[in-house]
Each structure stands twice: as structure tokens, then as C-alpha cells.
Amino acid sequence: MLSVILASLMNCLTSTFNSSSTIFSIDIYRRFRKNATDMELLVAGRCFVVGLVALSIAWLPIIQTFKRSGLFDYIQSITSFLSPPICAVYVLGLMWERINEAGAFWGLMSGLIVGLIRFALEFGFPPPTCGNPDTRPEVIQRMVGDFHYLHFGFFLFLFVCLVTTVMSLLTKPIDRSHLPRLTFGTRFSRRVRIDLDELDADPEEEERQRQKEKERLRRRAEAGTPPLWKRAIDCVCGLDAPDAEEEAMEETQHKMSKEEEASKAADFLYEPPFWRRLANINAVICMTFAVFVFTFYA
């Protein structure tokens, strides 16, 4: 039982650290260092993970104030406070073309504020130990003590869906030319998608970046095979150089027209009918069972 619990906790921690490292290095660090190399991004992501580990250690006194059964229960409660807004915006953005950036932003912010309020009430007014009277204000007893965090997560999800929908309907929609194959209803569309980033991109800067990449590949080809110790370091860091077949595939992809790329992306999602139905049935069964377990044991 202990090994199962530790494996579950390690899985949660590693997935969180890997996701955080990727988000920081790709979405944040590159805003300040647009021409950063893969090695530089790797080092920046690892340093960010070290900072997260230090923050996790500093967070231990707050975890000690948690009066329930243990660490895994604490993880699930924090997830119920902070994850439903992300899940709600993701599901709405995936299923409905009318959701826009303003709706997603205000949905996330409102859900974060509500989740942090519940977090503050949960840990600012901890429940009494067994046999001691509950001296918390009555409103805190009703909002925290009688309202399980799993139930709170469900209602937070609905609240964020409502806010996101209302704010999206009150603001300008995204043009449909930017949406092919980005939502569930348009996943098989063969229309050419106009990337929003391309509208703000500088063609001259993109050409300079392409020339720099070609020059880097040329220098690497002239340098020949790197020494064994360098290849070992690159292998450990996950920086293996692409082989000739991958480079040829990338070069062919650059030569494809936008119409051909759109058709290829749509054909990639084709599934045989039998396996599609089987996967859908199993997914519904798993989701139904998971919802029942969460609601029954909450």
C-alpha cells in the first residue's frame, strides 16, 4: 500500500514539474529570449524546477496545518480549488467556437479568485481536532465544514463556465478563419487556417531566423560527428540531434502548400469506425465510474 501511494505521489509531482518547466521555458522565457537555443531553454526549465522544489519545501508549514487524513487528501483539495477553472475554459474552448480570449481570461481570473478565497478559508480556519468544540464562525462552518471540496470543485467548474460564456458573448468573437481544426466541430475541416501569430509576425525577422537555422545546420554538418562525451551529455539532456530522415521530412513539410498541410492535418485524425466506437464506449464507461466514485466517497 505504501509503494502504491508513493508511486501515485511521484507521478503527480513529476508531471507537475515537467509541465511547469515546459510552460516556463516555452511561454515565458522565450518572450525575453526569442533566439534562445534548445540547451538554454533546457537549463532555464531545470532552474525553474529547482525554484519550485524550494517553494514546495517552504510550503510545508501550511501542509502541516491540514487536519484531514494525509498528504494525498491535501493534494486533492488543492486540485479542487485551482484546477476546475482551467478544465472549464479548456472544455469550452474545445467544444464551442464562440469562446474568445476575453471570456477565457475573465473565466480563469474569477475562478482563481473564488478558489483562493476557499483556500484561505480552508487553511485560515482549520477544523478542530476530535473532541474539541468548533469555535469557527457559523458562516465558515457552513461554507467550509459542510461543503466538501469535491462538491466545491464541481460548482466552481459550473461558475467558471457561466462567467466564460457570458463574457465571450459580450465581446467580439474570433473570426472563423482562425478556427479550422482547433475545435471539436471543425477537427475534420480542410480549410486553410490563418494563424493569429502570423498577423503580428515580422516577415523580415522570420527570414532572418530561417537563415540563422540554415547556418547552424551547415556548421553542424561541417563539424562532423561530435565527441563521445558531448553526445552523452546531449543524450542525457534529451538534446539528440535529428537524423537526416527527420531533417528531410521537415524540409518537405516546408515545401508543402497551406492547402496540402490542411488536408494532411484533417486526414491525420481519421479513425476506423469500429475502433472509434469502441474507444468512445470505454471512455464513457470510465468517466461514469470516475464520477460515481468521486461523488459517492465525497
- Structural domain includes residue 42: yes
The CA distance from 39 to 236, in Å, is 12
Q: pLDDT averaged over the chain?
A: 81
Q: Which residue has the higher pLDDT, 68 or 49?
A: 49
**pLDDT exceeds cutoff 90 at 89:** yes
**pLDDT exceeds cutoff 80 at 152:** yes
pLDDT tens-place string over residues 47-57: 898 998 898 88
- Structural domain includes residue 187: no
Coil, strand or helix: which one is 297?
Answer: helix
**pLDDT exceeds cutoff 70 at 17:** yes
The CA distance from 169 to 102, in Å, is 10
Could you give the number of structural domains in the chain? 1
Longest dimension (CA), the chain: 77
pLDDT attached to residue 255: 66
Q: Which residue has the higher pLDDT, 72 or 174?
A: 174
**Would you say how long the chain is, in residues?**
298
Q: Which residue has the higher pLDDT, 242 or 222?
A: 222
- Structural domain includes residue 237: no
Query: In this structure, what DSSP letter does residue 128 have?
Result: P
pLDDT tens-place string over residues 115-151: 999 888 887 777 777 777 777 777 777 777 778 888 8
CA angle, corner 12, sides to 125 and 164, nearest 5? 65
- Structural domain includes residue 180: no
- Structural domain includes residue 298: no
pLDDT attached to residue 262: 80
pLDDT attached to residue 159: 96
Q: Which of 13-17, 127-131, 173-177, 269-273 has the lowest mean pLDDT?
A: 127-131
CA 121 vs CA 40, 124, 125, 136: distances in Å: 41, 5, 6, 10
pLDDT classification of 64: cutoffs 50, 70, 90? confident
The CA distance from 86 to 81, in Å, is 11
Q: Which residue has the cell 469506425?
A: 273
Predicted structure pTM score: 0.70
- Structural domain includes residue 123: no
pLDDT classification of 86: cutoffs 50, 70, 90? very high
pLDDT attached to residue 38: 77
Highest averaged pLDDT of the listed ranges 138-142, 260-264, 288-292? 288-292
Query: In this structure, what DSSP letter does residue 177 have?
Result: G
pLDDT classification of 298: cutoffs 50, 70, 90? low
**pLDDT exceeds cutoff 60 at 243:** no
- Radius of gyration for the alpha carbons in the chain, expressed in angstroms and rounded: 25
pLDDT attached to residue 245: 47
CA 141 vs CA 120, 148, 236: distances in Å: 14, 11, 52
* Cβ atoms of 108 and 89 closer than 8 Å: yes
Percentage of residues of the chain with pLDDT beyond 70: 83
pLDDT attached to residue 239: 64
**pLDDT exceeds cutoff 70 at 254:** no
- Structural domain includes residue 18: yes
Expressed as residue numbers, the domain containing 53 is: 1-58
- Structural domain includes residue 261: no
